[in-house]
Amino acid sequence: MMEKKEHLFIVFENLLKIKSECSCELFSGCGLSDITVKQIGYLKIIDEHGEVTFSRLAKITNNSKPTITETINKFVKMECVYREKSPDDGRIYYIRLTEKGRIIARAEHEALLRVIQKMADSLDEKEMDTLINLLEKIR
């Protein structure tokens, strides 16, 4: 049984390596190969919440407004976000993702889609059905 677990480990390690390579391709395409996991997390939050103000992002991430301001300033320099003044209240600014920011925020999802495409290209329909059935058993 131990040999099978070791083999399964190697197989999954390979899948994760492929996913990581797909993610790296996306980040490199944006010129941001050194972006941190935490920064990606912030971009994902901005992407998921749409209309996010500095105060709202601070609350969601459990950070201070100065910390969020510093983070957003970095993102502006990285060309991942921009500030948009509220048409209703000139004191409020929304944090918006640029196209580059959107690509990074959605990179994990896109990388997973690329791995799935590689699987689909490597397996026939019956093998794909078998894989799906096996993976669905894991809870």
Domains of the chain: 2-123 (1.10.10.10)
Record the tokens describing residue 52, joined without a space.
Answer: 């996010």
- The whole-angstrom separation of Cα 139 and Cα 132 is 13
pLDDT tens series, the chain, 139 aa: 778 889 888 888 888 888 888 777 777 777 766 788 888 899 999 999 988 999 999 999 999 999 999 999 999 999 999 999 989 888 899 999 999 999 989 988 888 888 889 889 999 999 999 988 988 888 8
- C-beta of residue 76 within 8 angstroms of C-beta of residue 83: yes
Count other C-beta atoms under 10 Å from residue 32's C-beta: 20
* Cβ atoms of residues 104 and 26 within 8 Å: yes
